[in-house]
C-alpha cells in the first residue's frame, strides 16, 4: 500500500476554491429563483391592475335622478291615451325639462335614458298611492353617457348615430349642471340578469352566478363521492393486474382530454340521447363532473399513496379490517390532499367555457333567476364564464366593460374557493 500523505493543514478561516465555486453556484441559483418569482409577481400585478381597471366601470352606473309628481289628472289622462307608455314618457320628459336650464327634445332624452315610459307607468300601477306625490325616479343613463363622463368619448370623437348625437352632449352637460346626474354603485350588475344586446347598462351577472352555483353543486355532489370512492377502491382494494393498469392509464389520459371533447360528449349523451334540457345547469354540471373526476381521482390517489404504509400495517395488525383501516386512519390523513384536489378541480370547472359552448349555455340570454329551488337545475341558464364570453362577443363596446366586470366576479369566487381550501386544509392538518 502506498503511504497516505497528509495534505498540508489549511485554516478553516480561509475559504478554498471548491467551496467558493459551490457558494457561487448557490448564490446564482438563488438569484434565478428570485428573478423568476419577481417576474411572476410582476405579471400578476399587471394582470390584476388591468382586470380591475377595465372591470371597475361595470360596477358603477351613471344614473339620473329626476323628481316627478304625477297629478291625478295627468294620470287619468295618460291612461286614456292609446299609447299609454308614450304618454308617460312625455310626462317624464316634461319633468326633466322643468329641472333643466336648457331645452331637451323628447328624442334626446330617450336616447340618453332609454324608453322609460313603461317603467314609470309600471311604478304607478304598483304604487297608486304615489300619484299626486313627489317621487324621485333613478334611471340608468345609456352607456354612452358613461363614456362621455369618464372621458372615453369626447365631442371630437363622437359620430352622430341613432344612439347619440352631438347635441345630446349639451343635454348631458345640462344634467350635470342641474346636479341630477350621478354615479352610483351598480348593484344591478351583481344581482341582475343579462339584458338585451341594446342595453348594456342593464346587464347583470347575478343570474349566471346562480347558474354557476347550481353547476358547481352538481359537480361537487357527483364528483367528490364518486372520485374518492373510485380512488379508494383502486388504491386500497383493487388487485394489481393488467385490467387495473388499463383503468389507471385511462384515468390519467382522461385528465388530459381537451374540455371541448367532454362538451360534445355531453351534447351527444345528455341532450341528444337522454333528452335533458338544453342550456340547463344540470347538463353543464354533468359535463363538468366528467371533466373534474380525473383531477379528483388523481389527487386523491396521490394523497392516499402519501399515507405511510406502516399506518395501514398498524391498523391491520390490531385486527382492523381493510375498510376500517382506510376509513379510520388512511382517509383522515389523506383528507387535506383530497380537499385540495377537489377544490382545484372545482375551480377549473368553474372557469371552464368550452364545454358549455356545446351544450348551449353560451349566447343564451339569461333574463331572470330560476323560478324555484329545484328548477335551478333544469331551467335554461347561463354560467359565469359563458356569460362573460357572450358579453365579450357582443358588438356594443359597453358590454366589453361588463365582460371585465364579470371576470372580477369570477376571480372573486375563485379566491374565495381557494381560501376555503386553505382553511379546510388547516383544520384537517391540525389533527396530525
Partner 1 sequence: MKDNRIVERDVDNADIRINAKGVNVFYGDSHAIKDVSVDIPANAVTAFIGPSGCGKSTFLRCLNRMNDTISICRVTGDILLDGEDIYDKRVDPVQLRAKVGMVFQKPNPFPKSIFDNVAYGPRIHGLANTRAELNEIVESALRRAAIWDEVKDRLDAPGTGLSGGQQQRLCIARAVATAPDVLLMDEPCSALDPIATAQVEELIAELAENYAVVIVTHSMQQAARVSQKTAFFHLGSLVEFGETGQIFTNPKDPRTESYITGRIG
The one among 133, 328, 426, 427 contacting partner 1 by CB under 8 A: 328
The one among 23, 252, 253, 324 contacting partner 1 by CB under 8 A: 324
Helices (H) and strands (E) in the chain, counts: 19, 3
Distance in Å, CB of 333 to partner 1, minimum: 6
User: Which part of the chain contacts partner 1 (CB under 8 A), choosing from 133-141, 309-317, 383-391, 416-424?
Assistant: 309-317
User: Which part of the chain contacts partner 1 (CB under 8 A), choosing from 65-73, 88-96, 318-326, 378-386?
Assistant: 318-326
User: Which part of the chain contacts partner 1 (CB under 8 A), choosing from 38-46, 60-68, 72-80, 325-333?
Assistant: 325-333
Distance in Å, CB of 294 to partner 1, minimum: 25
Nearer to partner 1, 106 or 236 (CB): 236
**CB 405, CB 392: distance < 8 Å:** no
Nearer to partner 1, 246 or 314 (CB): 314
CA-based R_g, the chain, Å: 31
In 3D space, the residue among 429, 343, 431, 397 whose CA is nearest the CA of residue 58 turns out to be: 397
Query: How many residues appear in the chain?
Result: 432
Nearer to partner 1, 151 or 309 (CB): 309
Nearer to partner 1, 226 or 320 (CB): 320
| Rounded Cα–Cα distance for residues 303 and 270 (Å) | 32
Distance in Å, CB of 385 to partner 1, minimum: 40
305 binds partner 1 (CB under 8 A): no
For residue 314, give Cα distances in angstroms to 311, 319, 323, 334, 432. 5, 9, 14, 17, 16
Nearer to partner 1, 308 or 372 (CB): 308
For partner 1 (CB under 8 A), the number of binding residues is: 21
Distance in Å, CB of 241 to partner 1, minimum: 10
User: Which part of the chain contacts partner 1 (CB under 8 A), choosing from 10-18, 21-29, 254-262, 327-335?
Assistant: 327-335
For residue 333, give Cα distances in angstroms to 20, 327, 339, 427. 44, 10, 11, 12
| Rounded Cα–Cα distance for residues 333 and 419 (Å) | 20
**Residue 259's Cα: distance from chain center in Å?**
18
Element (H, E) at 99: helix 84-99
**CB 108, CB 145: distance < 8 Å:** no
Query: Can you name the residues that pair with 284 across neighbouring β-strands?
Result: none
| Rounded Cα–Cα distance for residues 118 and 107 (Å) | 16
| Rounded Cα–Cα distance for residues 21 and 24 (Å) | 5
Q: In the stretch 332-351, what mask flags binding to partner 1 with x, by CB under 8 A?
A: -x------------------
| Rounded Cα–Cα distance for residues 358 and 279 (Å) | 9
The one among 5, 318, 373, 395 contacting partner 1 by CB under 8 A: 318
Sign of the CA dihedral with 127 first, then 131, 136, and 140 last: positive
11 binds partner 1 (CB under 8 A): no
In 3D space, the residue among 157, 210, 197 whose CA is nearest the CA of residue 399 turns out to be: 197
Nearer to partner 1, 154 or 321 (CB): 321
The one among 239, 242, 371, 395 contacting partner 1 by CB under 8 A: 239
**Residue 5's Cα: distance from chain center in Å?**
73
In the 8-state DSSP scheme, what is residue 396?
S
Nearer to partner 1, 316 or 414 (CB): 316
242 binds partner 1 (CB under 8 A): no
The one among 56, 314, 415, 423 contacting partner 1 by CB under 8 A: 314
Nearer to partner 1, 225 or 308 (CB): 308
312 binds partner 1 (CB under 8 A): yes
425 binds partner 1 (CB under 8 A): no
Distance in Å, CB of 336 to partner 1, minimum: 12
| Strand blocks (E) in 145-254 | 181-185
Distance in Å, CB of 251 to partner 1, minimum: 20
12 binds partner 1 (CB under 8 A): no
273 binds partner 1 (CB under 8 A): no
In 3D space, the residue among 45, 42, 48 whose CA is nearest the CA of residue 404 turns out to be: 48
The one among 2, 179, 319, 371 contacting partner 1 by CB under 8 A: 319
Residues lying near partner 1 in the complex (CB under 8 A): 239-240, 308, 310-321, 324, 328-329, 333, 431-432
Amino acid at each position: 500500500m502506498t503511504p497516505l500523505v497528509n495534505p498540508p493543514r489549511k485554516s478553516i478561516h480561509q475559504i478554498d476554491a471548491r467551496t467558493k465555486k459551490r457558494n457561487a453556484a448557490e448564490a446564482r441559483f438563488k438569484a434565478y429563483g428570485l428573478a423568476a418569482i419577481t417576474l411572476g409577481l410582476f405579471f400578476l400585478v399587471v394582470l390584476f391592475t388591468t382586470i380591475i381597471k377595465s372591470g371597475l366601470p361595470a360596477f358603477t352606473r351613471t344614473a339620473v335622478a329626476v323628481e316627478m309628481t304625477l297629478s291625478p289628472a295627468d294620470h287619468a289622462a295618460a291612461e286614456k291615451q292609446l299609447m299609454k307608455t308614450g304618454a308617460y314618457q312625455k310626462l317624464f320628459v316634461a319633468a326633466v325639462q322643468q329641472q333643466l336650464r336648457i331645452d331637451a327634445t323628447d328624442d334626446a332624452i330617450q336616447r340618453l335614458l332609454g324608453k322609460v315610459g313603461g317603467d314609470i307607468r309600471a311604478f304607478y300601477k304598483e304604487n297608486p298611492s304615489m300619484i299626486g306625490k313627489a317621487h324621485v325616479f333613478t334611471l340608468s343613463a345609456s352607456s354612452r353617457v358613461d363614456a362621455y363622463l369618464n372621458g372615453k368619448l369626447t365631442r371630437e370623437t363622437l359620430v352622430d348615430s341613432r344612439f347619440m348625437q352631438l347635441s345630446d352632449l349639451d343635454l348631458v352637460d345640462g344634467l350635470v349642471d342641474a346636479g341630477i346626474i350621478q354615479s352610483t354603485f351598480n348593484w344591478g350588475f351583481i344581482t341582475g340578469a343579462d339584458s338585451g344586446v341594446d342595453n348594456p347598462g342593464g346587464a347583470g351577472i347575478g343570474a349566471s352566478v346562480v347558474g354557476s352555483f347550481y353547476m358547481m353543486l352538481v359537480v361537487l355532489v357527483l364528483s367528490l363521492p364518486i372520485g374518492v370512492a373510485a380512488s379508494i377502491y383502486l388504491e386500497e382494494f383493487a388487485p394489481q393486474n393488467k385490467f387495473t393498469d388499463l383503468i389507471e392509464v385511462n384515468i390519467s389520459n382522461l385528465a388530459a382530454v381537451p374540455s371541448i371533447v367532454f362538451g360534445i360528449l355531453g351534447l351527444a349523451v345528455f341532450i341528444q340521447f337522454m333528452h335533458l334540457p338544453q342550456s340547463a345547469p344540470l347538463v353543464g354540471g354533468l359535463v363538468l363532473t366528467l371533466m373534474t373526476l380525473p383531477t379528483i381521482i388523481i389527487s386523491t390517489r396521490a394523497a392516499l399513496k402519501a399515507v405511510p404504509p406502516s399506518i395501514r400495517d398498524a391498523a391491520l395488525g390490531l385486527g382492523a379490517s381493510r375498510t376500517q383501516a382506510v376509513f379510520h386512519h388512511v382517509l383522515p390523513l389523506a383528507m387535506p390532499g383530497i380537499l385540495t384536489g377537489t377544490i382545484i378541480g372545482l375551480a377549473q370547472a368553474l372557469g371552464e367555457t368550452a364545454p358549455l359552448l356545446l351544450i348551449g349555455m353560451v349566447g343564451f340570454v339569461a333574463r331572470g333567476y330560476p323560478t324555484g329551488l329545484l328548477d335551478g337545475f333544469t331551467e335554461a341558464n347561463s354560467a359565469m364564464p359563458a356569460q362573460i364570453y357572450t358579453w365579450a362577443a357582443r358588438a356594443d363596446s359597453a358590454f366589453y366593460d361588463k365582460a371585465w366586470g364579470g371576470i372580477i366576479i369570477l376571480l372573486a369566487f375563485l379566491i374565495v374557493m381557494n381560501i376555503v381550501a386553505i382553511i379546510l386544509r388547516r383544520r384537517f392538518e391540525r389533527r396530525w
